[in-house]
A and B are shown apart, each in its own frame.
Chain A
Amino acid sequence: MKIVVCIKQVPDTTEVRINPKTNTLIREGVESIINPFDLNALEEGLRIKEKMNGELIALSMGPPQAESALKEAIALGCDSGILLTDRAFAGADTWATSYTLSRGIRRIGEVDLIICGKQAIDGDTAQVGPSIAEMLDIPCITYVRKIEEIDKSNIKAQRMMEGGYHLLESSLPALITVVKEINEPRLPSLRGKMRARKEEIIKYSAADIVCEIDSIGQMGSPTVVEKIFAPPVRDKGTMIKGEPSEAAAKLVSELKEKGVLL
């Protein structure tokens, strides 16, 4: 069983600051981490690998410094890490990113299962996972909260829904995206860290993955970001304290005063 987990290196903050002039993320002074949902994807990949004696590859597209995220994936237990890195990949939107990653997966060869986090905490689009599946023309199960069964040719998984779940079954190869409820990611081990230090991260350029040059990077990105802005800060609101019955009465009277209740 060959499993690929797609990971993204993101700034270590949920409050990404934006440069108001350029409308781009300010990355200076912000530590980079593996996207938290991708850690769940890695953990699930590790569990399947351990159970089925499979091979686990971490894959990422990014600048050369994204190598550290792949080293971390190896420290956690991945067999190898592959970084798709090329100046031509820069400025990619979700479409071009998905295309590039799908080409990278083609380059790896026969893959049984691809796991992605449900979304990245910086962009929050949740598009890359399903798009990769589309470009590879394989089935996709999103928002997986539990894998009920998996063998060499099939997967049965719970897809999280509001107030319940869908139980879906698919043939392999397939792609799944996972939610944080699926597991608790492990910490690295010392032996893993030592191995990661020695392990060479495989790097593929645009030429290595055989791709249409006008489908990658900024050139291949149909999305145009017109403007990025921080949402206006909301007012603090009013806290009504006191005994529940008194507080409720006060709330009702204030809502009536404001015309919300008639």
Chain B
Amino acid sequence: MIDYGFTEEQLMIQELARQIAEERVRPVRAQLDEEGSHSAEIMQVLAESDLFAVFIPEEYGGLGGGALELCIATEELSKVCGGVAVSYAATALGAYPIMLGGSDEQKKKYLPAIASGEKLAAFGITEPNAGSDAGGVETTAEKDGDSYILNGSKIFITNGGVADIYTVIAMTDRSRGARGASCFILEKGMEGFEFGKEEDKMGIRASATRELIFTDCRVPAENLISREGMGFILSMRTFDHSRPGIGAQAVGIAQGALNEAVDYASERIQFGQPVSSFQAIRHLIADMATKVEAARTLVYQAARQVDSGAKNISKLSAMSKLFASEIAMEVTTNAVQIFGGYGYMREYPAEKFMRDAKITQIYEGTSQIQREVIGLEVIKEAKFRDKK
């Protein structure tokens, strides 16, 4: 066992998340995947176990942890099911804009219900014409007295429909581009706020992904987070905080696939011996394990950097998400290879890990966007270094 320097509380989170994953998620994961259904029952178990409280400050009903605690829980859930894990992690994503930019009143109103797990949260920025280019948001928010009128739609929203609290990016001033974006808190049931298409996905099928539609949706001005024009900056800060969580999801998926592959390789007999006794397989396993460990260490380091309160966390956060997601894709693909023909069959768990892994390279910023973030930061740092 490797000592990651976790506190006693962090070890408890790990142990409990692992127990929930094994006892409550594993027995139903194939069924959830097959049906493509979000499990309210499992969310209830996570809620009763206080796992939604780990990333929320104590003064707002949480247990006062941060990104590392979120990563630990997400990784354990992902080892069994990446879909259940993202339903959990996406609630943190939806809560981050409130935690990072919300007023004390907004925090008091929304965070305790998220911490207790009574309400799930979701974050909405993506639109048909605004994916990697977050500045292309077309949803508008027009000021009207002491409220804003939202019009437009969001797509591919994790927890869409099942969450009660939504943090949504809309343009308050389209002429200013990204600087004209603002962030609002919406609640399920608000007039003019409806849910559209439910997506049928390749992986993470145990999570809900849905369209949000705003038709003259009136949102009280007090639900504006921070001030007008801060939406884009708030989104970037949110991603800086949440990306290690996706890294942790990727590490969990990779580790889960690796575990299955190692067990299988030790049992599968070919040419009169377990396939794990062949160097070709053994070395493949060695590379997989080494890469997963490297990704994990980078994710924990990024999470610790986030929790330290350091100012510039973009680069390391992006690195952890980029590296872990690329490793997850590689490791899960190799896990299928180790399973051979059985790996390609739905009956065995290997192919699900591979399908679940792919999304980690895409959402919360594609691998290409992560490289942009990292590249720009590294070049910026180099200029600063030369001046010294």
Contacts and interface: CB of A to CB of B under 8 A. Distances in A.
B8 A188 contact: no
Contact of A197 (B8, B50, B63): B8
A16 B350 CA distance: 33
A190 B116 CA distance: 12
Nearest to A192: B50
Interface in B286-345: none
A190 B11 CA distance: 11
A193 B12 contact: yes
A187 B12 contact: no
B374 interface: no
Contacts of B26: none
Contact of A186 (B13, B48, B50): B48
A189 interface: yes
B16 A187 contact: yes
Interface in B1-58: 8-9, 12-13, 16, 19-20, 23-24, 45, 48-51, 53-54
B9 A188 contact: no
Interface string A121-133: 0000000000000
A194 B49 CA distance: 12
Report which residue of A186, A190, A193 has the largest number of chain B beta carbons within 10 angstroms of its beta carbon. Answer: A190
A187 B49 CA distance: 7
What are the nearest 6 A-B pairs in CB distance? A190-B50, A189-B50, A193-B12, A189-B49, A191-B50, A187-B49
B118 to A, nearest CB: 14
A132 B112 CA distance: 44
A189 B13 CA distance: 9
B20 A187 contact: yes
B223 to A, nearest CB: 30
A47 B48 CA distance: 14
Given A187-B23, A187-B45, A187-B49, A193 B16 contact: yes
Contacts of A194: 9, 12
Contacts, number: 33
Nearest to A190: B50
A164 B181 CA distance: 65
A49 to B, nearest CB: 15
Interface in A169-200: 186-191, 193-194, 197
A187 B8 contact: no
Contacts of B24: 187
Contacts of B63: 190-191
Contacts of A187: 16, 19-20, 23-24, 45, 48-49
Contacts of A197: 8
Contacts of B45: 187
Contacts of A191: 50, 53, 63
Contacts of A188: 16, 49
A191 B13 CA distance: 10
A187 B54 CA distance: 17
Nearest to B20: A187
Interface in A206-245: none
A68 to B, nearest CB: 13
Nearest to B13: A190
Nearest to B17: A190
Contacts of B54: 190
Interface string A84-119: 000000000000000000000000000000000000
15 contacts: A187-B19, A187-B20, A187-B49, A188-B16, A188-B49, A189-B48, A189-B49, A190-B13, A190-B49, A190-B51, A190-B53, A190-B54, A190-B63, A191-B53, A194-B9
A2 B9 CA distance: 31
Contacts of A193: 12, 16
A190 B48 CA distance: 9
B8 A190 contact: no
A193 B51 CA distance: 12
A188 B23 CA distance: 12
A188 B19 CA distance: 10
Nearest to B8: A197
A153 B12 CA distance: 40
B8 to A, nearest CB: 7
B84 to A, nearest CB: 15
A193 B48 CA distance: 12
A190 B49 CA distance: 6
Which of A186, A187, A197 lies at the interface centre, i.e. has the most chain B CB atoms within 10 A of its CB?
A187
Nearest to A186: B48
Nearest to A191: B50
A193 B50 CA distance: 10
A242 B382 CA distance: 75
A254 B219 CA distance: 78
Contacts of A186: 48
A92 B289 CA distance: 49
Contacts of B50: 189-191
Given A187-B23, A187-B24, 6 more contacts: A187-B49, A188-B16, A189-B48, A190-B16, A190-B51, A191-B50
Contacts of B16: 187-190, 193
